Each structure stands twice: as structure tokens, then as C-alpha cells.
């Protein structure tokens, strides 16, 4: 039986044993989490400047919180999909070093990923705009009154996510760069490659000699630098790769 792309990727991952994954919204789409770009994406319905910038938040924090509360309602119903679990299992098998994600849904964490770098924060947390106090949002009862107030200083709380125009937290960016420098393979999973600086990471990895493997049903802005392309959904492709890995181990 001839080898296919899944066999090739599995063999590379086992041989190199120093892979990282960069994931985007497409990795959670099969869990029912709406994507942002492309057909039917959130940014085709909402304008980012109205709900996803610091200016929008301070202009009308209640409106921004209503949008994030709606997203949380959807997220609380979402479960990790087979792609999330496959990445977590690859980490457990010492095949994958770390997951670097642009997603704020924490589904990688729920699936069991231990080394997880959340570049854009977490929608399941909120942070005080004055004193920096952070608090998890485990249910919607905390959001009955909007915007929620800080229990420490009384100021307003904001979603603990990176809004448009804000920098990625330096600690997370430094960790992401460190993992990228060490990677011999980068799995680029479900990301359009259009959001910076996250989209720089595959380019940095490529320049340092890493093998870039793109898993996405659609062509992206990173397709041109990919060494191997699997045109499939991550929830389908990653479990197949994991299956081949287990057969070879």
C-alpha cells in the first residue's frame, strides 16, 4: 500500500519529535465556535471597530459586553472536537512540544493540552481596567449587570482578550517565539494567516529551517510557504495523523 500525506506527516513528526502547532479559528469551527473571516464569519456580520477595539469598549462598554456575553453563551455549549483531542494526545506522546493558539475559547485546554500559549487571551476571563485584577467567568450569572464591576477596586471589568489595536502580551509572545525557534516542524492548523503578529510565526519557523505543514480546507495566506498541505478540516485530518503515529510507534 502506497504512502499518503497522512503517513508522510506521521513519519516526519515521529522522526523530528520537535513540532509545535499554530491554531486559528478553523480549529474550533467544528466545535460550533463561529469563525471571524470567510463566508459567514463574524466580521461579515459585525464591524470590529464597533465591538472589538479598546475605543469601542471605553465608548460603550455595555454594548461590547453584550456581544461577548452572546459569544460566551455559544461557547459554553461548545465541546472540544477530535482535532483538539488529537493535538493533546500528540503532546502526551512527546510528538508535539506545544500549541500556540490565536483562539480565546480555551478548548485546547479543556481537551488536555498542557503546553498552551494563548496569544489573544481568553474569553473565559475578565480583567479590571484599573487594578488588573482577573477573574474567571464560569457561568453567565456574573454578567447579569453590564459592565461587571471589579470586586477589588470598583472599576469596570473588560474581557481578558487582545482587542484590535492592542499588542499581544509580551510574556505570551516571548514564549511563542521561543517555541517557534525550537520547532523542527510547525503544524499550521485552521488559521487564515492574515492576523499579525501571529502570522509571522510560520514565516519565522520557515526561515529557521522548519517544515511547515498546513492543515486547512481552504487556501490561505500561508499556503505559499507550506511544504506539505492537507486540504481537510482539522477535526478530520489530525485524528488520521494521530492514528498513523500510533501505528508507527
Q: Is 237 helix (H, G, I), strand (E, B) or coil?
A: helix
pLDDT given at position 37: 52
Share the mean pLDDT of the chain: 92
Asked if 93 contacts 247 with a C-beta cutoff of 8 angstroms, the reply is: no
CA quadruple 18, 228, 36, 79: dihedral sign? negative
pLDDT given at position 22: 98
Q: Distance between CA atoms of 67 and 105, rounded to whole angstroms?
A: 15
Q: What is the DSSP code (8-state) at residue 162?
A: P
Helices 170-182 and 200-207 cross at an angle (nearest 10°) of: 30
CATH number of 34-77+123-161: 3.30.1600.10
Q: Is 170 helix (H, G, I), strand (E, B) or coil?
A: helix
Q: Considering 84, 108, 120, 203, which one is annotated as catalytic?
A: 120
pLDDT given at position 47: 60
What pTM does this model have? 0.92
pLDDT given at position 32: 84
84 is catalytic: no
Residue 118 or 66, more confident: 118
pLDDT given at position 36: 52
pLDDT given at position 90: 98
pLDDT given at position 44: 44
Q: Is 151 helix (H, G, I), strand (E, B) or coil?
A: coil
Task: Identify each DSSP E strand in the chain by its residue range.
Answer: 19-23, 96-101, 116-118, 121-128, 134-136, 157-161, 185-189, 211-215, 228-230
Same fold, 1-32+80-120+168-249 and 34-77+123-161: no
pLDDT given at position 43: 41
With pLDDT > 90 as the criterion, what percentage of the chain qualifies? 80
Q: Distance between CA atoms of 223 and 219, rounded to whole angstroms?
A: 6
Question: What stretches of the chain show up as alpha helix (H) in DSSP?
Answer: 5-16, 26-29, 48-51, 54-59, 61-76, 82-92, 107-111, 170-182, 200-207, 234-248
Confidence of residue 180 (pLDDT cuts 50, 70, 90): very high
pLDDT given at position 49: 56
Domain ranges for the chain: 1-32+80-120+168-249, 34-77+123-161
Cα-Cα-Cα-Cα torsion 165, 33, 234, 168, nearest 10 degrees, comes to 20
Over the stretch 146-171, which tens digit does the pLDDT of each residue have?
A: 999 999 999 999 999 999 889 999 99
| Domain 1-32+80-120+168-249, classified CATH 3.20.20.60, yes or no | no
Confidence of residue 35 (pLDDT cuts 50, 70, 90): low
Of 89, 100, 96, whose CA–CA distance to 16 is shortest? 96
Q: Is 172 helix (H, G, I), strand (E, B) or coil?
A: helix
Query: In this model, does residue 1 exceed pLDDT 50?
Result: no
Cα-Cα-Cα-Cα torsion 58, 59, 65, 67, nearest 10 degrees, comes to -130
Of 219, 210, 190, whose CA–CA distance to 13 is shortest? 210
Assess whether the previous peptide bond of 147 is cis (omega < 30° from 0).
yes
Residue 80 or 38, more confident: 80
pLDDT given at position 82: 98
pLDDT given at position 199: 96
Query: In this model, does residue 39 exceed pLDDT 80?
Result: no
Amino acid at each position: 500500500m502506497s504512502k499518503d500525506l497522512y503517513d508522510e506527516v506521521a513519519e516526519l513528526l515521529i522522526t523530528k519529535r520537535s513540532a509545535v502547532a499554530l491554531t486559528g479559528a478553523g480549529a474550533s469551527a467544528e466545535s460550533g465556535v463561529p469563525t471571524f473571516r470567510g463566508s459567514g464569519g463574524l466580521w461579515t456580520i459585525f464591524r470590529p471597530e464597533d465591538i472589538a477595539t479598546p475605543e469601542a469598549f471605553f465608548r460603550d462598554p455595555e454594548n461590547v459586553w453584550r456581544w461577548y456575553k452572546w459569544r460566551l453563551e455559544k461557547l459554553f455549549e461548545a465541546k472540544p472536537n477530535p482535532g483538539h483531542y488529537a493535538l493533546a494526545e500528540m503532546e502526551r506522546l512527546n510528538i508535539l512540544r506545544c500549541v500556540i493558539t490565536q483562539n480565546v475559547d480555551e478548548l485546547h485546554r479543556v481537551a488536555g493540552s498542557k503546553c498552551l500559549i494563548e496569544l489573544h487571551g481568553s474569553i473565559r476571563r475578565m480583567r479590571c481596567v484599573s487594578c488588573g485584577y482577573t477573574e474567571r467567568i464560569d457561568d453567565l450569572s456574573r454578567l447579569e449587570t453590564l459592565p461587571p464591576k471589579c470586586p477589588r477596586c470598583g472599576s469596570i471589568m473588560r474581557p481578558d482578550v487582545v482587542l484590535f489595536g492592542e499588542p499581544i502580551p509580551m510574556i505570551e509572545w516571548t514564549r511563542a517565539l521561543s517555541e517557534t525557534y525550537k520547532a523542527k516542524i510547525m503544524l499550521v492548523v485552521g488559521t487564515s494567516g492574515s492576523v499579525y503578529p501571529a502570522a509571522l510565526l510560520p514565516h519565522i519557523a520557515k526561515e529557521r529551517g522548519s517544515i511547515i505543514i498546513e492543515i486547512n480546507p481552504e487556501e490561505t495566506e500561508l499556503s505559499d510557504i507550506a511544504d506539505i498541505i492537507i486540504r481537510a478540516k482539522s477535526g478530520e485530518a489530525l485524528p488520521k495523523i494521530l492514528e498513523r503515529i500510533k501505528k508507527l510507534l
